[in-house]
Amino acid sequence: MEGTIRCGANYVPLSPISFLERSSVVYRDRLSIVHGDQVKFTWRETYERCVKLASSLVNRFRISRGDVVSF
């Protein structure tokens, strides 16, 4: 996109979260994860699994907005 001006219509910086959200919409039925012959997930399934994991971590450890989490 050489010569174009970055604006909301043609450029949006992606965070890991917004990347997952966008991929789950744009590429919902395409494969995002393949491990061997048995494990295959689409972008929609990957997003749903990430949301479930995040929700369980929030509920289990009572994490709230602004908390710093590390492993």
- pLDDT for residue 9: 72
- CA distance linking residue 36 with residue 29, whole number of Å: 19
- pLDDT for residue 71: 72
Domain boundaries of the chain, sorted by first residue: 16-61
The arithmetic mean of pLDDT across residues 9-22, rounded, is 86
- pLDDT for residue 1: 54
Cα separations in angstroms, 28 against 34, 43, 47, 48, 55: 15, 5, 9, 11, 21
pLDDT tens, residue by residue, 23-52: 999 999 999 999 999 999 999 999 999 999
Is the pLDDT at 8 greater than 80, yes or no?
Answer: no
The arithmetic mean of pLDDT across residues 47-61, rounded, is 93
